[in-house]
Structures are given as C-alpha cells and as structure tokens.
Amino acid sequence: MIKRFKIDHKIAGIVNKSTFFKTLNFIDKGDIQTPCLIIDSELIKKNALTIGKDIQDSSVFYAVKANPAKDILHLLDTLSVGFEISSEGELRVLRELNVNPDKIISSNPVKTITFLKSAYEYGLRYYAFDSIAEIDKLARYAPGSFVYLRLSVPNEGSEWPLSKKFGVEIEDAIILMQAALSKGLVPVGITFHVGSQCNNLYNWNIALDKTKILWEAAKMAGINLKIINIGGGYPVRYTRDVLTIQKIETNINTLIKERFPQGTIVHIEPGRVMVGEAGIFATSVTGKARRGYEDWLYIDVGVFNGLMESVGGIKYCFVSETHDGIGEEKSWVIAGPSCDSFDVIDKNILLREPQIGDMVLILSSGAYTVSYASEFNGCMIPNIYII
Ligand SMILES: Cc1ncc(COP(=O)(O)O)c(C=O)c1O
C-alpha cells in the first residue's frame, strides 16, 4: 500500500509527511474497513504544544465540536489543554473523562437551559453572551458567573464565516455589559470569532481594533475587563499553504501588547487547526460512470457521513492509488455513497483513474467531519482510529 501512494508535486507542499506515512503504515498493518478516519496523535500533541506559545499570558481551550473523539479529548487533557463546549453532549464526554471544570468554558452565546443547569452544577463559571435573554438565563441558572461578550467582527477571507449568527456592535455591547452587571453577573471580557479557516491576517487586526474601542468604552462605564477571547479561526492546509500558527500569534501578541494593559489574559479556542491536518480519511471507490461530458467517481464517504463542509466551500485534497503508472489523470466529479443528489463532494478534481475497490485518501480531514456525520441512507459513520 505504501508504494501505491506517492507524494507528488500536488501534495508535497501541503501534506504532513510523517502523518501521511504513519497512516499508510497503519493501513498496511491493520485490517481496516473503509470509510474510516485515521488520526495521528503525535501531530495533535505537536499542535497542542505549539498553539498559544507565541501569545503572552494565553490559555488554550480546544473547541470540542471540531472532533469530540474521547481519545483526543483525553490526550489534550493530559497535555493541560482546556476545553470550549456548547452543549450537554460535549459536557457529558468531558464529565466522563473527569476533566476539571476550571478548564472548561462555554462560548456559545445562546445556550439551552438544560445545558446551563448541568454546566453550572458541574462547576463551569465562564460563559459568553450577546443578548438580554441570555443574561436573564445566566443570572437565573448560573448566578454570579464570569461572562464575556461576543463582539461582531468581519469574517472576510475566512472560508467558513461565522459572523451572522452571533455578535453585537459596540453600542449594544455596553448596554449588555451593564445589564449583566445589574443582574449579579461579572463581565470580564470580550470574545469574537474571525471566521473558521481564516487565511486573512488582517481579520485579527480589525477584530482587535474593535475590541480595543469596546474595552475603553467599558472602562469609561466603570467595567474593568481582563480577558480577550480570540475564538478560533486558525487555518489548516487543505489544498494550499496557509498562514502558520506562529505568524498569526506573533501578530496578535504584538497588537495586544501595544494596545491592552499588561497582564491582559488571552483565551484561544482552536478547533480546526488542532485536529484538521492530523486526520486522513481512508475511503474506497465504489463506482465510476460517464455522465454527459463528466466522469463521476463514487466513494464510500460523502456529504452526509463525513464531508458536510464540502458543500459550504471547504475543498479537500484527494489522493488515489497508483498502479505502476497505469491510468491516465482525468478530471472527476466526486460523489458520496447515498442516493441523494446533494451528496456531491467536489468537481474538477484531477486524479489518476482508480479501479473499483481502490482506496482514495482525503487529507486534512480531522476536523468537522465525523462530528457532523449522520447515518443517512444507512451509510456508516466512519470509525476513528487514533494512531
Ligand atoms: C465559539 C467558537 N469558538 C471556537 C471555534 C473553533 O473555531 P475553529 O475551528 O475555526 O478554530 C468555534 C467554531 O465554530 C466557535 O464557534
């Protein structure tokens, strides 16, 4: 198997070679069934030790939604990484792992009452908010908690924007902070999200400009903040090279040092970057067809059982087996296993023609894949192997 996959010019600049060869070795040795997601724990460990390193006074809270596999959470817990959660389901897994509640925060600005009750009971004390309704809920079900306001910031240049659903402008923010204070909550900071898979350094600059204005306005209103939660957004290499963690963090660190008081605490909530490149999907070719002018390739993982983000604009890199140079490179429409026409992963993908039953690997698929997956049409959710 190792010999049948090559690192050619298309993937040389984007693939993590160690993860790639470890994955191939595992496929060779193991008796795996496709589709499955193979995760390189060493790369996650490396990411956990890198993220936050270049931002002074920072703490890292892994966004569990990216991939809630228990073994990943356990690994991160042992590496002293904290967790950002949004729901009872995410809390349940951390509870089962006995994660210290001091290491958990919730940045979903709209939480269910059931979640709030159990989170508070477990000991969580840090929550995001951006509405009066949420303040009322927090005051009732999480009294006295430390709260941070979700500010609206531009998401241009982010492949997975997150700006519409949450966040308020500066004028409303002050009113909300005062309302929180009057209800016995403790406003401690500001949070934003520049959009997931953000490859535009400038987004963080604008977000921190707005944060600075709000920080000063809060001070004038008698509210002294101490935390900036910069959310997630760090990108991974799907089909091209992207900003490095170091470049993003050096920039953020300089801006924070220039603009905010010494000792300002920074919270980082990486999801995609922590696990994305560590995961490789192993899939099998289930069919091929010529339809009009197009060549279609069918594989056993698709939009519903793992590649949901492909319909929102995330482009994956596919690698097919080579058979001693046999099979000419062609442009393919790649589709998943269900009967639904929505289950089309991508178009114009150049691949050497595979045979039915051949394996196709999908790089950088560790984040927002299996966590989104459903068993629609009876198609199996890929097993995860942590290696
Ligand atoms: C509040 C919050 N924090 C962190 C993240 C993680 O973002 P990313 O995966 O881009 O790092 C998300 C993603 O949706 C989020 O909503």
pLDDT in tens, 175-223: 999 999 999 999 999 999 999 999 999 999 999 999 999 999 999 999 9
Residue whose Cα lies nearest atom 5 of ligand 1: it is 232
What's 42-275's CATH class? alpha beta
The third-level CATH classification (topology) of the domain covering 2-39+278-386 is Lyase, Ornithine Decarboxylase; Chain A, domain 1 (2.40.37)
Give which of 232, 144, 252, 247 is closest to 188, Cα–Cα: 144
User: What's the pLDDT score for residue 27?
Assistant: 93
Q: What is the pLDDT of residues 75-114, one digit of tens each?
A: 999 999 999 999 999 999 999 999 999 999 999 999 999 9
Give which of 239, 358, 238, 350 is closest to 298, Cα–Cα: 358
User: In sequence order, what E strands does the chain have?
Assistant: 36-39, 58-63, 82-84, 104-105, 126-129, 146-150, 158-160, 186-191, 196-198, 227-229, 265-268, 279-291, 294-299, 318-320, 329-335, 344-352, 359-362, 383-386
Residue 270 alpha carbon, nearest atom of ligand 1:
11
User: What's the pLDDT score for residue 157?
Assistant: 72
Torsions phi, psi for 127 (to 5 deg): -140, 145
pLDDT > 90? residue 323? no
- Give the orientation angle of helix 245-259 with respect to helix 41-50, to 10 degrees: 20
Contacts of 140 (CB under 8 A, 6+ apart): none
Average pLDDT of the chain, as a whole number: 95
DSSP letter, residue 42: H
User: What's the pLDDT score for residue 327?
Assistant: 67
Domain with CATH 3.20.20.10 in the chain: 42-275
pLDDT > 80? residue 326? no
Quote the ligand 1 centre to 233 CA distance (angstroms).
6
What is the reported pTM?
0.96
- Lining ligand 1 with CB less than 6 A are 63, 66, 84, 107, 162, 193, 196, 231-234, 269-273
Which of 44, 64, 65 to mutate for ligand 1's pocket (most ligand atoms within 8 Å of CB)? Answer: 65
Quote the ligand 1 centre to 22 CA distance (angstroms).
28
User: What's the pLDDT score for residue 154?
Assistant: 81
pLDDT > 70? residue 3? no
pLDDT band at 5 (very low <50, low <70, confident <90, very high): confident
Quote the ligand 1 centre to 90 CA distance (angstroms).
14
Which of 193, 197, 198 to mutate for ligand 1's pocket (most ligand atoms within 8 Å of CB)? Answer: 193
Does residue 339 have an active-site annotation? yes
Quote the ligand 1 centre to 2 CA distance (angstroms).
35
Residue 198 alpha carbon, nearest atom of ligand 1:
10
Q: For residue 202, what is the enclosing H or E element?
A: helix 201-220
Residue 234 alpha carbon, nearest atom of ligand 1:
11
Cα atoms in the 13 Å half-sphere on the side-chain side of 255: 21
Distance CA(111)–CA(108), nearest Å, equals 6
Residue 160 alpha carbon, nearest atom of ligand 1:
10
Domain with CATH 2.40.37.10 in the chain: 2-39+278-386
DSSP letter, residue 380: P
Residue whose Cα lies nearest atom 1 of ligand 1: it is 107
Q: What is the pLDDT of residues 234-279, one digit of tens each?
A: 999 999 999 999 999 999 999 999 999 999 999 999 999 999 999 9
Quote the ligand 1 centre to 271 CA distance (angstroms).
6
